[in-house]
């Protein structure tokens, strides 16, 4: 997508030195656009853990590039030495964040691709090719999510010709959370580019404010009309007919259609259900967990540090970035990163293959090759 008129993706290899992975430092947005270099597995792991990069798709793609760096730096003396290093890197990357399933999926896909290669001196080329392929598929899947989700927005537009379609989204399931286009935002960008009058209600998404900081920024860069709202406003808007459609992303969706997404998503789904507002989840197939059936019991929910709730940073009138404390110094804090929205509250899933009910049969009909996996 565009930044200041220039096309960017969220991650790429440095053109002059393809042993370096480059990312956008998402901690600095919307105030500064800074590109960082990653040269070691430790740097990649830190970038994911510290949320320099974040969002399910991008976490997975970054881990895929991390495995490429692991292969670059692993000893090529013996197979044993090589695999010890590469498997340790995979374990290190997988341990960085627990909820988004894309992370383990991407690491495992790299490991499987490498296992098919015999000569050690061909490993680097295979790891690089696999990382590039995972990144390209991520972008293509999001583009297709946009095409399928557009049909939902077009159907709404037909019911209120000429009027603005109001879409509520939570957190950032935008292009910054993937390689390009985003999941929840892809249908919105597609509709906007078609000339449909869309307006987005952007939940601020405490405590890290991915909505207020990132979704608002990327929609603004693309010229999509939007309004940032405090996290508790959505229910009120829905009661007053000011939301036509909710579209959120997902960090992990079970084969039965239970959706883990950023904390607060469940409350929006409840409000949508109570007010008859369609509630869609947009996700690529890399965000399905084919082994899990009970989202509430099985999906690991990340708990992060207290400081994310206690402190907030922002830009002062002089342009400086400063950190302020919001809570009494001694108050204990809990910081649950995600919640699970049960399938019964989800109107449908927007995937790269089409829109489908949040229901095991429907999901497996769309992904028949996963039937064996899901029934294990």
Collect all residues with Cβ–Cβ distance below 8 Å to 369 and sequence separation of at least 6: none
Site string (82-121) toward ligand MRU, x via CB under 6 A = ----------------------------------------
Cα→Cα distances 190→5, 158, 187, 285, 353, Å: 17, 16, 5, 20, 16
Task: Please tell me whether residue 251 binds ligand MRU under the rule CB under 6 A.
Answer: yes
CB of 97 to ligand MRU, least distance (A): 7
**Contacting ligand MRU (CB under 6 A), which of 23, 41, 56, 238?**
56
Both tokens of residue 217?
């920024």
The answer to whether the bond into 207 is cis (omega within 30° of 0) is: yes
Gap between the Cα atoms of 202 and 226, Å rounded = 7
Task: Please tell me whether residue 55 binds ligand MRU under the rule CB under 6 A.
Answer: yes
Helix (H, G, I), strand (E, B) or coil at 86: helix
The secondary structure of residue 303, as a DSSP letter, is B
Is 258 an active-site residue? no
Please identify which of the residues 138, 203, 251, 258 carries the catalytic annotation. Answer: 251
Gap between the Cα atoms of 349 and 113, Å rounded = 29
CB of 266 to ligand MRU, least distance (A): 12
Closer to ligand MRU by CB, 86 or 187: give it: 187
DSSP string, 310-353: HEEEEE-TTS-EEEEE-S-TT-----B-EEEE-GGG--EEEETT
Task: Please tell me whether residue 249 binds ligand MRU under the rule CB under 6 A.
Answer: yes
Binding residues with ligand MRU: total (CB under 6 A):
17
Closer to ligand MRU by CB, 256 or 261: give it: 261
Closer to ligand MRU by CB, 141 or 172: give it: 172
**Contacting ligand MRU (CB under 6 A), which of 38, 107, 150, 173?**
173
Interface contacts to ligand MRU, rule CB under 6 A: 54-57, 171-173, 177, 183, 210, 248-251, 261-262, 337
Catalytic residues: 251
């Amino acid at each position: 997508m565009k930044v200041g008129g220039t096309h960017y993706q969220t991650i790429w290899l440095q053109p002059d030195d393809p042993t370096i992975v480059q990312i956008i430092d998402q901690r600095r947005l919307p105030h500064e656009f800074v590109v960082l270099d990653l040269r070691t597995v430790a740097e990649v792991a830190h970038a994911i853990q510290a949320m320099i990069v974040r969002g399910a798709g991008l976490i997975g793609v970054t881990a895929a590039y991390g495995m490429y760096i692991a292969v670059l730096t692993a000893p090529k003396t013996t197979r044993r030495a090589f695999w010890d290093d590469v498997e340790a890197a995979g374990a290190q990357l997988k341990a960085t964040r627990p909820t988004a399933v894309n992370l383990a999926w991407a690491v495992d896909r790299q490991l499987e691709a490498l296992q098919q290669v015999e000569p050690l001196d061909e490993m680097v080329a295979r790891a690089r090719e696999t990382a590039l392929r995972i990144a390209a598929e991520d972008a293509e899947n999001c583009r297709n999510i946009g095409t399928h989700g557009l049909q939902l927005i077009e159907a709404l537009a037909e019911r209120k010709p000429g009027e603005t379609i109001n879409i509520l989204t939570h957190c950032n399931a935008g292009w910054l959370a993937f390689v390009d286009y985003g999941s929840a935002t892809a249908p919105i960008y597609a509709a906007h580019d078609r000339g449909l009058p869309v307006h987005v209600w952007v939940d601020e998404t405490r405590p890290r404010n991915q909505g207020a900081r990132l979704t608002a920024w990327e929609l603004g860069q693309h010229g999509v009309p939007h309004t940032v709202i405090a996290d508790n406003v959505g229910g009120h808007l829905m009661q007053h007919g000011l939301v036509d459609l909710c579209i959120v992303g997902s960090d992990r969706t079970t084969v039965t259609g239970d959706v883990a997404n950023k904390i607060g998503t469940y409350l929006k789904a409840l409000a949508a259900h109570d007010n008859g507002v369609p509630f869609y989840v947009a996700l690529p197939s890399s965000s399905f967990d084919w082994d899990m059936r009970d989202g509430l019991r099985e999906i690991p929910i990340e708990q992060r540090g207290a400081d994310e709730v206690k402190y907030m940073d922002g830009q002062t009138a002089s342009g400086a970035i400063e950190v302020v404390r919001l809570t009494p110094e001694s108050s204990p804090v809990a910081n649950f990163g995600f919640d699970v929205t049960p399938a019964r509250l989800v109107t449908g899933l927007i995937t790269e293959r089409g829109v489908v009910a949040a229901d095991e049969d429907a999901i497996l009909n769309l992904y028949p090759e996963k039937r064996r996996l899901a029934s294990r």
